Structure formats: C-alpha cells, structure tokens
Structure 1
Amino acid sequence: MALGFSGTARSAEVSFPSWQWGESANASILNKIKEEFERNNSGDILKPINIPYEGFFDKQYSEVRAGSPSDIVTLFDPEMASYVKQGLLDPLNKYMEMAGVSVDQLSVSHKIALKDGNIYGVAFQTNPRALLLNLKLFKDAGVPIPTNVDEFLNAMAEIRNPAKQQFGFYSLSTSGPAQDAYLQTAPIILGFGGSWLKAGKPTANSPQTIAALKFIKKVYDDGLVPRVDSRAAQQLFIDGKIASFVVGPFLVGFTAEQNKETRENIDAIVPPFSGKQSAAVTVFLAIPKAAKNKDAAGRFIAAMLNPKMQEDIVATVNGLPAVKGSIPAGFVEKNPWYRAFVEAGDHAVSYAPEGMEEYGPEIYNIVGPVIEDILFNNKDVDQAANALQSELEEFVAKKKAN
C-alpha cells in the first residue's frame, strides 16, 4: 500500500521525540513504520529523538505552547483531551483518507481525540489493564487463580516470601510525581467501580472509590507489595519476583525479550475486583498546529495505519491496534493471555477524569498528593476522601464558572 507520492519535489525531516525510541519493542515497530514512510515518500526522512520519560510531557507542552514544537507529539489520554480543547493540534482526516481508514473504523479509545467530526490524534497503541499473572508463583504457593478480592488478598499473602524477595502483587508504594500516583492507582480505582469524577461530577468519596483506596492501603500496610516504582516493579515481574500486576499487555513483550521462563508462565485475567471494569491507557500520535513539517508528519501517521503495520504493532508491542479488526489471524490462539486484554478493552474506560479530561494534569496534582498521604502519612481513608471530594468540587465549580 503506497502512502506517498514518489517523485513529488519535497524534502522534509520529521522530528519525533519520544521515550519510546529507547524501549526495544516500541523502537522496533517505530523503525518499521519509519522505513515504510521513507520508502514511499522520496526525500523525506523521520528523525527519531530518544529522550527520557521523566519530564517528557511538561517539556513537550512548553514547546507546543511556545510555538516551537516537534513535528509529531506523543500524548496520553488526558494530554490528548487538553490539546484538543486548547486547539493546539492539526486535524488528521486527510491522512486517514490517504490510509484508506474512516473514523468509524478507529477503536473506541479515539473518542477522546474526536471533535466536530475531526480526528486530532491516532493511537500508536492502546493498553487496557488486565491482571498479568506468573502462573508458576501461584502453583508454587499452592493457591488458585483468584476470582474475587478476598481470594486475591489470600493469594498475595501466601505467595509473599521475604527470604526470596517474592511478592504476590504490585501497586503504588513509593512517592513520586503526582501523575504517577494517579496513573498507577487508576486501574484499581476503576476496577472497584470507583472514579474520581463521573460525567464531570466528583465522586472521590463514593463507596466504591473508598473501597479501592482501602484495598491499596491494605496491601501497602501489610507489606504485600515491593517498595519500588512501577518501572522497577516491571523488572521484578520479568525476573519472576512478582506474581501479579495490573498492567498493560506491553509488559509481555518486555518479558519475552528478557526472561524465557517467566514468559512461558504468563497468563492474564480481568482483575477480580468488584466493579468488573478496566482502565485503558492510549498512546496517541498527533501533529501540532505550529509544526514545521505537518504534511510529512501526517504521511508518517498514514504509514502507521497500513493494515500490515497495524498487525505488526499487535505482534510486536502487544497493544490493541488503532484500527478495529487488525489483530492478526491466529494471534489470540497462539497467545491465550491476550484474550483477557481484548476482553478488558471491550469494557475499558480511559483513566482520564471523566467529563473533565482536558484538565487531567491539574487533577493529577489534586489527587496524587492525597493518595500519597493515605499511603505514606497514614491519613485516614474516609477523611482523606471527604476532603478530596470538597477540593474537587471546588475545582470543578471554578472551571465551569470560567
């Protein structure tokens, strides 16, 4: 499928900074898209820029607001909504047409990138959260795969082995940026049927949200989770030291590269929490209005939507594709763990604050410190949730008044 116009006089260097260039699975598929783009668009090149994840979104936003952005920006759900709200992005409709993909063929995760019939971001990958399992650790401890919260807590306690530095589960356990506290706990909050906001109305002290917060606090207080950040926890899972992790399917790809034994023992289920709901994190690619090489950047995104490339994204990084129906034939049968992520994706909701998605970064800074107070300063959950409810109500009222 040729997505360019060879022979047209042009030459553009498309700048694309991302931490993903430093992650082998992501870099592998991004380089495939780069090759496809450059092969079909004579004279144009894509310039990968590998930069650290820490501080990435703040730096990117500052550049976009200053009118000196890269040609392609990377956005999670709340950032996507915020950029659309502020009118910072160019629509991608003509590049969708170039790729032969209509808006209604895009996955449900694109709802946040749509406005007035225009699409402003296309998913590089969507990562719904499921409970990734190391079956060997469950078998060694003699515990069944849990089907409810009580069974889950029991399994975590039985698998915990201090002598082996072995844990049954991972959830937030170290202080860090507010965004990390929000993002790491969102799948559990949503899994219990809770939320910080529903349809733009704060729900921080709902029974479901409080139940989720008490669960997160219990596993921390009882020493059932390692005291490390999420990236270190991913490595512990790969190393066979953590039995379960509410995480996206990308971790399977990382595991396959580094630890064959763990990879052979992987399975996944929809988290056995009471709300039977999952969270999804989507990595969008978009083009700022002030980008210097917008047309070439759009053609790179069109190359990503090539049907074969969509299948390669699934096979390489294990995320859900942008275009519905792009899971390769036989992939689920060969990778039965993937079924749980597909199922989770069918009823997943964005982790962005519902109804106030564009204010996600500001809401992180309200919610994150409260979660840390509960865990690290032993703040009473009910009191903290009630105080947070009032703070969020005040925040929403001010935004609606403006």
Structure 2
Amino acid sequence: MTISTFKVRLATAAAALMLSASAHAGEVSWWVSEPGKVKAQQLATEFEKENPGITVKLQANPYGGLEGKVMIAVKSGIPPDLIEVQNSWIPSYQATNALEDVGAAINQSVPLTDFVPATLAACSVDGKIYGLPFQAEALAMLYRKDLFRDAKLDPEKPPQTWDEMIEVSKKLTYTAPNGQRRYGYGIAGGGAEGQGNTLYRSLPYIWMNGGDILSADMKKSTLNTPEAIAGVKFYTDMLTSLKVSPPSTLENGGLELRRLFMAGTIAMYQGTPTELERFAQDAPNLDYGVAIMPHPTGKETSALLGGWGFIVPKAGKNKAEALKLLQFLAKPERLALYTRTFPTTTTSMNLPRFADPKLDAFKVMMTHARPQPPIGSWLEISSAYYKNIQEVLIGGASPKDAMAAADKAIDAILKK
C-alpha cells in the first residue's frame, strides 16, 4: 500500500466515522405513553420534515409500571433524550439530580406567561422548571340528570355546598322500582392505581376546608388539624356513616366509578374531562351534566392539579436535539393536539377543540387547582396518607385517629 493510498483510506474512514457520529447526534429518542403513540408519530414526522438532519426514534410505553421504569432510565446514565411523564413524578426524579432545567428553552418557544401558572409549578422544584407541561386537568362533578329527575330533584341545580351535597346524596340513595340499588355519590377507595385515585379525589376536600397535608416549608405534616380532619371526615362519611356510596367503595377507582355511573348505580362522582369521550363511545345517550365540586359554605372549591409533561434527562446523549423537539412541541397548536384533556397555555385553551359547553365546569375547576407539594418523598407521603384513609373506610379508625397516625408516619418520612 502506498502512502497516498493509505492517506486516502484514512481520510475515507475518518469521514465515515464523522458521518456515523453525525447520524447518532441527529437521532433523538422519545418515550411516550401508549395512548399518545399515534399523535406522537404524527408530530415526530412533522418535526423530521422541519429538521431534516434529525431523526426521532419513538418508543411507546404502557402506563403500568411507567413511573419506576422512567426512574431506572434516568438513573442509568443512558436514558432516552425526551420522556413523557406524569408531572407529579418530577420531584422524585429531580431528587436524584437527574433532570435538565428546561425553563429557558421553553421560554424561547412560548412565553412562560402564557402557561397556566399551576401547570409550571407542577413541573418545578426549587423555582426551576424541569418539564414542559402539555396536559392539565382538574376533577369536576359528573351527575346523572335522569336520576335527579327520578328522585324529584332539579337536574339543572346540582349541589353547590357540602350541606347540599349530603342532602342530595341521601335523596339519590334508594332502591329503584326495578330493584336496582342506587347510591348518591361514588368515592374512590381503592381499585387499580388506588393510591393515586383516592388522593386525587380526597385531598381537595382538605384544601377547600382550609387544611393541608404539609406545612408551607414542607418540613411537617399538617393532617392532624381540625380543618384536615373535617375534610377527611366529609369524604369518608359518604361510605361509613351516611352510606350514600356503594359497598364496593374499597375496590373503586376511576374506572370502576365510571362504570357504576353509566350503569346508574351511582348518581354523582368526581371525573376528568376524558370521561366525556368515554361516555360518547360507550353510552352516547347518557343524560348527564357537569358541575364544579361542592365546597364548604362560605369557602371556595379546590382540586388537585393533574397532568403530564416532557422531561429531558441530564444524561441524555442528544440534548440539543431533545431541546429542539421540546420547543417544537411547546407550540400552542401542538399542545392542543397532543393533550387528552386540556392543554397548558391560555392560547391553546382558546382553540375550537375546547369550546364544548360541557367542558366549562372543568375549566372553572382548573382555576381552583393546586399542584401537589414539590417534594422528592411524595410517593411515600401519599402512601402513608392513603393507608390511613383506607383505615377509616374499612371502619378500623376514626378520621381523627387515622390522621393522627398519618401525621406521625409522614413526619418520620420527612425526617429521613
């Protein structure tokens, strides 16, 4: 081999290596949840057309076990470049210092002032934004208008206060002429994803009564207070003393409540905007209404903000491309396309897709929604809370004793 031939081959090999490295650098791996797969592929194709040097490698993951799967990935040192997660998981991931601060990148694409403030707060830890919130939701009250009529109640006047809620729930609880046992109000006490379902539906009763689960500095549990105990009592009384919730409550999560509602077994329950799509598919003739959640007299309603976002792991190999995809996804029309409930910006919320009057109560609830505390030990904290809520529901403890026990367990978690 001559020196000139060797130089040519060396140059060719170097060029091939550079091309290979360039191709790798131009590939961004994106994990999404299974329900978002079709729309994610649509957006990925559009992104690739706008950015011909970048390829999107898409992977869809089922909900089951996703939180743990992402935690393993972000701690592995070789995570995907962009990941769809529940916003409530972000503090736990960032507790390991695993996430990129994406606030500045988002602001270059969409002004942060366009976002509903609580949605950014849900993705933030210590004032830094670690995720692009694309989906937001707050529970509203769904009620069967036909069952209201059967009970001689005005279907256009759902209960607005706790006192009205108790009165109406009692009237809606009876055995119908066809032998079906009906119940006024369905609450979550278990089922699949029971911990999240029960927390999501019960914690707002503590908030709207002026209580909280943690102190403002997140260093102490505040469940053993009159306000918090009364909120828990109102929620659990629906099963334990008032008996206006079905005996299956300890097995009921969101899915079970929806089925009981469609079957006419329960007349009211807390649901998300996604329920409306399910009703349209599974029970198109269902006669129902949507209202804001009842609240204590003289106080405001409340909701726990739910939602999803996209995170960029620090250890991702293609961070520049991931941030470019993140900025692409942040545009209002893409947030509106991808969300399964509501988008997170004012501009996208005003698009025609969200003009259905049945969504109005959900929009109102969004203005009263609060994110969970941004603390890395939240999963443990909510587990201790859930365990003690169940103790009340099975009749093993009073709300006061259960919240005292939860208080003690959570304080121990906070001191670790």
Please state if 1:387 is matched with 2:405.
yes
Task: Give the counterpart letter for 2:203 in structure 1.
Answer: A
Can you give the 5+ residue segments of structure 1 that lack an aligned partner in the other structure?
A: 1-7
Return the match for 1:183 from 200, 223, 229. 200
SS for the counterpart of 1:236 is helix
Q: Distance in 2 between matches of 1:164 and 1:298?
A: 55
RMSD, matched Cα: 2.9
Out of 368, 381, 392, which is 2:386 matched to? 368
In structure 2, give the amino acid aligned to 1:298.
Answer: L
Q: 1:146 aligns with which of 155, 159, 173?
A: 159
- Whether the 8 Å CA contact 1:278–1:349 is kept in 2: the answer is yes
Residue ranges of structure 2 left out of the alignment (5+ in a row): 1-21
CA distance in 1, matches of 2:64, 2:187: 19
Per the TM alignment, residue 178 of structure 1 is displaced from its structure 2 partner at its CA by 4.0
Deviation at 1:122, TM superposition (A): 0.9
Figure out how many residues of one structure are paired with residues of the other and give that number.
375
1:335 maps to 356
Gap change, CA 1:247 and 1:28, over 3 Å in 2: farther
User: After TM superposition, what 4+ stretches of structure 1 lie above 6 angstroms from structure 2?
Assistant: none
- Post-superposition Cα deviations, 1:196-240, rounded to whole Å, max 9, x if no partner, equal 113124220222211222122221221524432322223333555
CA contact (8 A) 1:133 1:266 kept: yes
> What is the rounded CA distance, in whole Å, between the counterparts of 1:182 and 1:254 in structure 2?
23
Report if the CA contact (8 A) 1:17-1:70 is conserved.
no
CA distance in 2, matches of 1:273, 1:70: 43
Of the three residues 155, 172, 177, the one matched with 1:159 is 172
Determine which of 82, 107, 122 is the counterpart of 2:116: 107
Report the residue type matching 2:257 in the other structure: A
Q: Classify 1:58/1:348 alpha carbon distance in 2 versus 1 (closer, same or farther; 3 Å).
A: same
Aligned to 1:234: 258
Post-superposition CA distance 1:323-363 (Å, at most 9, x none): 2232235566x52222222222222111x23xx63321121
Distance 1:241 1:260, change over 3 A: farther
* Separation in structure 2 between the aligned mates of residue 300 and residue 255 of structure 1, nearest angstrom: 34
Moved more, 29-38 or 271-280: 29-38
Q: 1:249-288 to 2 correspondence within 5 Å?
A: 249-262=273-286, 265-274=287-296, 275=299, 276-288=301-313
SS of 2:310's equivalent in the other structure is strand
Match of 2:214 in 1: 197
> How far apart are residue 37 of structure 1 and its match?
2.4
Task: Kindly indicate whether the alpha-carbon contact (under 8 Å) linking 2:136 and 2:341 is maintained by their aligned counterparts in 1.
Answer: no
Cα gap change, 1:338 to 1:198, in 2 (>3 Å) = farther
Specify the alignment match of 2:347 in structure 1: 325
Please tell me whether the aligned partners of residues 239 and 259 of structure 1 are also in contact (alpha carbons under 8 angstroms). no
Give the SS at the match of 1:371.
Answer: helix
Report the structure number with the largest CA radius of gyration: 2
Whole-angstrom distance in 1 between the partners of 2:81 and 2:60: 11
Deviation at 1:287, TM superposition (A): 1.4
User: What is the alpha-carbon distance in structure 1 between the residues aligned to residue 281 and residue 102 of structure 2?
Assistant: 34
**Kept in 2: contact 1:192–1:208 (CA 8 A):** yes
> Is this contact kept in 1: 2:79–2:315, CA < 8 A?
yes
User: C-alpha distance in 2, partners of 1:238/1:70?
Assistant: 40
The aligned amino acid for 1:257 is: Q
How many Å separate the matches in 2 of 1:181 and 1:68? 35
Cα contact 2:184–2:244 (8 A) shared by 1: no
Letter in 1 for 2:143: L
Residue 18 of structure 2 is matched in structure 1 by none
**Identity over aligned pairs, percent:** 22
Matching residue of 1:170: 186
* CA drift at 1:180: 4.3
Q: Distance in 2 between matches of 1:115 and 1:173?
A: 30
Structure 2: distance between partners of 1:185 and 1:37: 41
Secondary structure (helix, strand or coil) at the match of 2:49 reads helix
1:245-270 deviations in Å (ceiling 9; x for gaps): 223222223323332122xx343222
Task: Name 2:92's counterpart in structure 1.
Answer: 82
Mapped partners of 1:247, 1:357: distance in 2 = 26
Instruction: For residue 184 of structure 2, give the secondary structure of its aligned residue in structure 1.
Output: coil
Offset, 1:95: 4.0
Find the aligned partners of 1:14 and 1:258 in 2 and give their Cα distance. Answer: 35
Do 1:305 and 1:323's aligned partners in 2 also have CA atoms closer than 8 Å?
A: no
Matched residue type, 1:183: Y
1:155-210 alpha-carbon deviations (Å, 9 max, x no partner) = 22333355335443221233665444433422333343332113124220222211
- Structure 1, 26-35 or 200-209: larger mean CA deviation: 26-35
**Once the 2 structures are TM-superposed, how far is the Cα of residue 97 of structure 1 from its aligned partner?**
5.0
Is contact 1:14-1:296 (8 Å) kept? Answer: no
